[in-house]
Amino acid sequence: MSEILVVGSLAYDGVETPAGKVDRALGGSANYFSLAASLFAGVRVVGVVGEDYAVEDENLLKSRNVDLSGLERVAGKTFFWKGKYEGDLNEAITLTTELNVFESFNPKLPEKFRDSNFVFLANIAPELQLQVLEQVKQPKFVGMDTMNFWISSKKESLLKILSRVDVVLINEKEAQMLTGASNAISAAPKITEMGPRAVVIKRGEYGFALYTKDEGFHILPAMPIPEVIDPTGAGDTFAGGFFGHLARLDKVPSAADMRDACVAGTLLASFTIQDFSVKSLSKVTLDDVRLRSRDYLKVIGR
């Protein structure tokens, strides 16, 4: 089994949805990713937090055997994001973004992290993603996330990192923005022309579209969840389940492996959205995932 390196944010979130609100809950891409991926494989985190980052939140990751040797605790406050969801909950409305210590984040990998076989570059500036790759020796498989801000403001740097990764995980609107395409189906091949072997377009309640240069499209639905409480972190949870599944296989992934990894990501994300923050995800066990997998197979007719 291979170790997974994730570089991303550890944060606190304030979130309001029709189901209620939380004022300061654990968030950040690296937290969601790690809690999901650690069900399947070892995880190594590189990130930065401030003096206000609670020890119990750090211990939550340690309780899942997540290696925090690459976590810096520096003077100042931890990254904070506040947003709300309305209507169908498909898009967050950002109210506040306070980068705090994350603004000067300079990812430095501990020596033992440099041999990581699986690497996920979460949603950070493309220059920082490149900086991480310069420090990793010979990974088997590298994936990345991005967002509309980087697409519009740092396209040149983004194209450089795209040429060096194996898979991109991106939502439908971002895929359209990146390529100029009108939908996910036309956007996916255009993204692989930029360098990656594969692209996963996350489509929220409509599931995912996986496109690989080898096999074309695999399109599957999301797990039906009657009541969504908070969709924050669902995409990062998906990425964690995706990479956790692949790292457990411990080989260069095939298109079929990536399809199954998407299912693992879908199942984990379906737990995250059932409560605020990481509250539901932090309690999930592999047995829970196996049980939900059986229900999902019925949904897709297998």
DSSP SS3 for 65: coil
- Residue 274 scores a pLDDT above 90: yes
Closest to 264 measured CA to CA, from 248, 244, 287: 244
The pLDDT of residue 204: 83
- Residue 1 scores a pLDDT above 80: no
* Whole-number average pLDDT of the chain: 95
| Residue 202 · residue 170 · CB < 8 Å | yes
C-alpha pair distances (Å), 15 with each of 20, 82, 218, 289 = 8, 6, 33, 26
Domain at 20, CATH number: 3.40.1190.20
Domain residues for the domain of 130 are: 4-299
The pLDDT of residue 133: 96
Per the structure block, which two tokens stand in for 34? 């790690």
The Cα 131–Cα 248 span in angstroms is 26
Chain segment 226-269, per-residue pLDDT in tens: 999 999 999 999 999 999 999 999 999 999 999 999 999 999 99
The pLDDT of residue 149: 87
| Residue 84 · residue 15 · CB < 8 Å | yes
Question: What confidence tier does 301 reach under pLDDT thresholds 50, 70, 90?
Answer: confident
Q: Where are the beta strands (DSSP E) in 140-275?
A: 141-145, 167-171, 198-202, 208-212, 216-220
Cα 182–264–267 angle (5° rounding)? 85
Q: What proportion of the chain, given as a percentage, has pLDDT over 70? A: 100
C-alpha pair distances (Å), 299 with each of 15, 25, 270, 295, 302 = 30, 32, 14, 7, 8
Cβ-based neighbour number of residue 129 at 10 Å = 28
pTM above 0.85, yes or no: yes
Mean pLDDT for the stretch of residues 216-220: 93
Mean pLDDT for the stretch of residues 6-32: 97
Chain segment 37-83, per-residue pLDDT in tens: 999 999 999 999 999 999 999 999 999 999 999 999 999 999 999 99
Q: What are phi and psi of 91, to 5 degrees?
A: -140, 135
- Residue 280 scores a pLDDT above 90: yes
Chain segment 94-132, per-residue pLDDT in tens: 999 999 999 999 999 999 999 999 999 999 999 999 999
The Cα 246–Cα 252 span in angstroms is 8
* Total domain count, the chain: 1
Q: What proportion of the chain, given as a percentage, has pLDDT over 90? A: 92
Which of 260-274 are b and which e, b meaning 16 or more Cβ less than 10 Å from the residue's Cβ? bbbbbbbbbbbbbbb
Question: What confidence tier does 91 reach under pLDDT thresholds 50, 70, 90?
Answer: confident
Closest to 161 measured CA to CA, from 134, 187, 199: 134
Mean pLDDT for the stretch of residues 264-283: 97
- Residue 92 scores a pLDDT above 80: yes
